[in-house]
Amino acid sequence: MLENEGYITIEDGVRLFYRTVGNGPTIVIPNGMYFFDDFKRFANSRTLIFYDVCNRGLSDPVTDKSRLVTGIQQDVKDLDTVRMHFGLHQIDLIGHSYIGLMVALYAMKYDAHVKRMVQIGPSQPDAAREYPAQLTGVDNVTAEVFSRIAQLQKEKRPDDPEEACRRFWSVLRLIYVFNPDNADKINWGRCDLPNERNFMKYWNEFIFPSIQSIHLTAEQLLNVNAATLIIHGDRDRSAPYGGARDWAMMLPNARLLTLKNVGHAPWIEAPKTVFDAIRLFLDGDWPTTAETLQSQESSP
């Protein structure tokens, strides 16, 4: 498999780091470096472009707050720069968590350039919507984890910032899986990178407020023609399962694959189901267990 890496220069000389692998139709995976080892299995028949979004990973740190103030909307704009850099007219997209929301925002704005889209555990389309308990994964683990993080913040921080980051992730990762035995498989911290060690500050100041301002309606999504497969665990503590059901009802050509007793990292907790479904979908078919939805009524 062909592999390559480098930088894409966007506005104001800021560079985004990318890694490509494979050959064939192109899938772009924003903020997807922690996907690389698991998802490169698709590179036998496709080109995969993984890249670090603005101010993340190995991309350049940005100190000019005026460039960060639009948060997730800047990521939408940068994604189109990535597409143009590689000379691509139409792409497939895979987005996880808040990037699952970002790729949908991209498809709203640049519909002609998106063929197929996979949202994995996406943030909900309307940030203000509250869901009943059975459509969220919030439980005693959530409270326990945040209590332990609060305790960590009170303790004397290690002199080594990487060690502080690793301690933080050793606790936080428990939120992302339903089966605690899978927590050790969450290796998303990238604590060797300054951008990732500083991510919570960037999240709290820019990304999270920009997400909180998003209140999408079905009418706003009517122009999204891309076939969309939504993959969501019904015990996701980070992004409510009810949000996935909303996406499936609001997007014109979408189906939802629900994974029982699975959290925010479904490809880790149910790898065969997830990877088989994605491969089938990218090849042009819907997984048989992916549903079209008409209401929120059925419970997970």
CATH 3.40.50.1820 fits 3-137+208-282, yes or no: yes
Q: Minimal CA–CA distance to 282: which of 82, 67, 107, 39?
A: 39
Per DSSP, the three-state class of 155 is coil
pLDDT of residue 295: 66
d(CA 91, CA 133): 36
CA 45 to chain centre: 23
Structure tokens at 165: 């980051």
Q: Is the pLDDT of residue 158 over 80?
A: yes
Is 0.85 topped by the overall pTM?
A: yes
Please write the tens of the pLDDT for every residue from 181-236: 999 999 999 999 999 999 999 999 999 999 999 999 999 999 999 999 999 999 99
Share of the chain above pLDDT 90, in %: 91
Q: Minimal CA–CA distance to 115: which of 27, 35, 216, 21?
A: 27
Q: Is the pLDDT of residue 146 over 90?
A: yes
Render the burial of 256-289: b for 16+ CB within 10 Å, e for the rest: bbbbeebbbbbbbbbeebbeebbeebbeeeebee
Q: Which pLDDT band, with edges at 50, 70 and 90, does 2 fall under?
A: confident
Q: 225 near 198, Cβ under 8 Å?
A: no
Q: What is the DSSP letter of 215?
A: B
Average pLDDT over residues 252-256: 97
Q: Which pLDDT band, with edges at 50, 70 and 90, does 1 fall under?
A: low
Q: Minimal CA–CA distance to 210: which of 38, 87, 53, 57?
A: 53
- For the chain, what are the domain ranges? 3-137+208-282, 140-189
Q: Is the pLDDT of residue 76 over 60?
A: yes
Is beta strand 254-259 parallel, antiparallel or unpaired with respect to 15-22?
unpaired
Average pLDDT over residues 76-105: 98
Strand (E) or helix (H) holding 276: helix 271-282
Please write the tens of the pLDDT for every residue from 171-180: 999 999 999 9
Q: Is the pLDDT of residue 300 over 50?
A: no
Average pLDDT over residues 11-19: 93
Q: 258 near 291, Cβ under 8 Å?
A: yes
Q: Which pLDDT band, with edges at 50, 70 and 90, does 299 fall under?
A: very low
